[in-house]
Amino acid sequence: MNLRFLKKNRTVIGVYLVLIVLFLFSSLMSDVFLTPRNVSNVLRQAVVLGFVSLGQTLVILTAGIDLSVGSVISLTSCLTAGTILGRDSLAIPAVGLVLALALLIGFCNGFFITRTGVPSLIVTLGTMEIIQGITLTYTDEPYGQISPNFGFLAWGQVGAIPFPVLLLAGSFALGIFVLRRRAFGRHIYAVGGNEEAARLSGIKTDRVKIYTYMICSFTAALTGLLLAARMGIGDPRAGEPFMLECLVPVLIGGTSLMGGKGGLLGTIAGVFILTILNNILNLMEVSGYWQWVVQGVIIIGAVAFYVKERE
């Protein structure tokens, strides 16, 4: 049983071993790394990346991809801050508005992909351009102001634990439970593994895909809300780095771009690997341009490794 467990979960175990090694390396390379302030910063950075990576994982498990998440984050950030304008009374309506809009965007992505047969890469690339254009029409510079209570979303504490960390942990726990214990989770894996076989077995594959794109846009909107709460203002370009950056934790965590393999447990480790890596490179005063190089190498390496492993 132990050997079978190790063989079945060798990818996830390997990712967590890498995370442990990176953590130990970082703690040795910088005296600042383990300070409470830096640890809190790492956790809050991981939350922002974690939410958008969660949704992207589900889409990739169905053998799709969503490139519109970055523009959804930007739109959410600007609409939230631009609607609230410092008034607590408008916080809940603003959140409801942007989350509903995100679900609509995700539905449109899934609908066009399933109904037209156009690859998800093309559909979501087009959606990204449309949403980013709308966002920049709304405002082409930082705009709006969050309310004092809304800031709790990013800066609040529950005891000694940051509130957004608890929110992310609960979201990942729910996602893992659904993937492992509910029919919808099994259907996601089935669609990604062999869509035609899943359809013949009675699974409503189009519905599964639409739901995953809706969840992906929803989690991207949560990222936008967190960024707005953290910065105190909406930024029309806040989501640009996340369009591809959210792919890195997913791929590091063992989720295959061809679908049907991987999961959220590996994505969690991937989120912390990338966050810690960027943090220690910043502490070592390595140029941000080199961080892009590192991320690019990781993406190519991870894809090459898992493609080879699947053959």
What value does the mean pLDDT take over residues 167-171? 95
**In the structure, what pLDDT confidence band is assigned to residue 169 with cuts at 50, 70 and 90?**
very high
Q: Domain containing 202: what range?
A: 13-18+37-310
Establish if 171 belongs to a structural domain. yes
pLDDT digits (tens, 9 = 90+) for 37-54: 899 889 989 999 999 999
Total domains in the fold of the chain: 1
Element (H, E) at 310: helix 288-310
Establish if 197 belongs to a structural domain. yes
Establish if 23 belongs to a structural domain. no
Establish if 300 belongs to a structural domain. yes
pLDDT digits (tens, 9 = 90+) for 264-311: 999 999 999 999 988 988 888 877 777 778 777 777 776 676 655 555
Establish if 173 belongs to a structural domain. yes
Establish if 227 belongs to a structural domain. yes
| 157-158 and 161-162 strand pairing | antiparallel
Residues 47/224, Cβ–Cβ less than 8 Å: no
Establish if 7 belongs to a structural domain. no
pLDDT digits (tens, 9 = 90+) for 224-261: 999 999 999 999 999 998 988 899 899 888 898 888 88
CATH number at residue 198: 1.10.3470
Q: Which ranges of 142-286 does DSSP label H, i.e. alpha helix?
A: 152-155, 163-181, 183-193, 195-200, 205-231, 242-245, 247-252, 264-283
pLDDT at 285: 82
Question: Is the model's pLDDT at 7 over the cut of 80?
Answer: no
3-state secondary structure of 61: helix
